[in-house]
Amino acid sequence: QPVLTQPPSVSGAPGRRVTISCTGRSSNIGAGYDVNWYRQLPGAAPKVIIYGNTNRPSGVPDRFSGSKSGTSASLAITGLQAEDEADYYCQSYDSSLSGYVFGTGTKVTVL
Amino acid sequence: QVQLQESGPGLVKPSETLSLTCTVSGGSISPYYWTWIRQPPGEGLQYIGDIYYTGNTNYHPSLKSRVSMSVDTSKNQFSLKLNSVTAADTAIYYCVRVESGGLLDSWGQGTLVTVSS
């Protein structure tokens, strides 16, 4: 079912920078629909960390940033910390589906 | 701060109907869209469908023949029914509020539904 493609895993040493890509198509990201990013800890519901492509909800550290270009989006985490270990999902709207689509999910590991 | 709570049976037999209700507290059902998202064990997030507070619905094409959603504004609840379930429908089911721009901003804690005889 996933329509947005993410790398299965990314890893980095504490303090380093990692990026997660989210590749869509012309019916979702490429059509101009917003991309949102969620973090999911084990056993918990996802929580939004980036909305509207680049915006952070209050309480989310500025180490997290989002960008979007064409049919893709990216999430960057700088100054990687142990607490950043989690699964991350991108999400958007798809006009051909007339519904919401998710990325395949990326597991972030702090080495 | 709006809170969502899923309720319903945690075990459903194959070929039967899965029924869940989401109770919204700390906020109103209107004027929002509400959606059901599921996550099979160890897998990613899947969109099931969504419902507007007026009752208008949209379902994922792969589930359209088996799913129905309804809303009860007087009880601040919305519901999901999925019929003819199989083991492939075993998942954690989340009810979620949809904000502007398609942002899924408030999630229930999720409820595990297992399909097994």
- pLDDT tens for chain B, 117 residues: list them: 899 999 999 999 999 999 999 999 999 999 999 999 999 999 999 999 999 999 999 999 999 999 999 999 999 999 999 999 999 999 999 999 999 889 999 999 999 999 999
- pLDDT value, residue A1: 61
Contact at 8 Å (CB) between B81 and B12?
no
- Chains A and B: how many Cβ contacts under 8 Å? 68
Check CB contact of A7 with chain B, cutoff 8 Å.
no
Tell whether the torsion through CA atoms of A78, A83, A87 and A91 is positive or negative.
negative
CA B37 to chain A, closest CA, distance in angstroms equals 10
A102 pLDDT above the threshold of 70:
yes
| Cα distance between residue B105 and residue B97, in whole Å | 6
pLDDT tens sequence across A8-67: 999 999 999 999 999 999 999 999 999 999 999 999 999 999 999 999 999 999 999 999
Query: How many residues make up chain A in this entry?
Result: 111
Residue with token string 């589930």: B63
Cβ–Cβ below 8 Å for B45 and A99: no
Cβ–Cβ gap A34/B62 under 8 Å:
no
CA A65 to CA B6: how far, in whole Å?
32
DSSP string, B45-114: -EEEEEEETTS-EEE-TTTTTTEEEEEETTTTEEEEEE-S--GGG-EEEEEEEEEGGGEEEEE---EEEE
Candidates B37, B58, B89, B104: best to mutate against A (most CBs of A within 10 A) is: B104
Sequence-distant (≥ 6) Cβ neighbours of residue A104 within 8 angstroms = A2, A4, A5, A6, A8, B44
